[in-house]
Amino acid sequence: MRTLSLVGPGTADLLAPLSARLDGRVATVRRDDESGRPSEPAEAAGVPEGANAGYRLDDDGSWAAAGDGADFDDLLDRLAPDHDYALVAGDSRLRLPTVVVGDREVPGDVVARADDADGLAVDDLVALVKDADPYVTLETLVAEAKAGEDADRSGAIATFTGRVRAKESPEDDRTEALTFEKYEGVAADRMTRIERELTARDGVFDVRMHHRVGTIADGEDIVFVVVLAGHRTEAFRTVEDGINRLKDEVPIFKKETTVSEEFWVHERS
């Protein structure tokens, strides 16, 4: 799923024309308040007394949610396996390329700015969406593996998730974020080669890997490895070999930001 966030006055009006120009399944999300949840669906869904979250499924298959289990990040993760695009108006996150109207500062990577929404051409927005790095979740990779032609021969799916660790020991300074940069082209080619070579093993039917780039806050996911195999033995072994080879062979560089300093990890190794 590719994403684009639109922040600032008038940007919500761009959701409809931009959606109409994109081929594939498009999800749109509007946030008009400061709660961290899409306000219109939340009001429509409501939360029953005594419950932590409320959900409503309409006749057309659309749904709305409110409550503790319906925050913005969870919503994007839910959308990712089943949609080609997600367009967001009124909010931004580190993982979202963002178009800003005005001078507002946002956490996401600002890919364009304009003085007003009328200065944003839909053609330019389409290009920004299609050029964005995909928003990949573990569930996305598992769903793709399950849809493969050899899925009916598999009895095991093994996964690995690497995340940003705040501390390695209690005495360490807290890590606030990690920033990853990849060697363009080379990193993707090497990851594809690793996937292909591991999939060629006896009893292994599919291997999928994804490593995020950009700035990732502590506690967030960094890397996923998914293996579809006939049995658990080859599935577990291939997951371990996959993450080890990714770390050893794929040129991805890591900068660590702690509460006291910032440094490139390879310069200290």
Mean pLDDT of 61-77: 63
Average pLDDT over residues 119-138: 93
Mean pLDDT (whole number) for 194-218: 95
* Residue ranges per structural domain of the chain: 2-36+71-131, 138-267
Q: Which of 84-93, 146-155, 199-208 has the lowest mean pLDDT?
A: 84-93
pTM of the model: 0.79
- At 161, the pLDDT band (50, 70, 90 cuts) reads very high
Class of domain 138-267: alpha beta
Mean pLDDT for the stretch of residues 135-161: 94
pLDDT, position 45: 45
Residue scoring higher pLDDT (75 or 258):
258
Which pLDDT score, from 0 to 100, does residue 175 have?
93
**End-to-end CA, the chain:** 35
CB-based contact 53:70 (threshold 8 Å): yes
What was the pLDDT predicted at 188? 92
Question: Would the pLDDT of 83 be above 50?
Answer: yes
Residue 43 has pLDDT above 50, yes or no: no
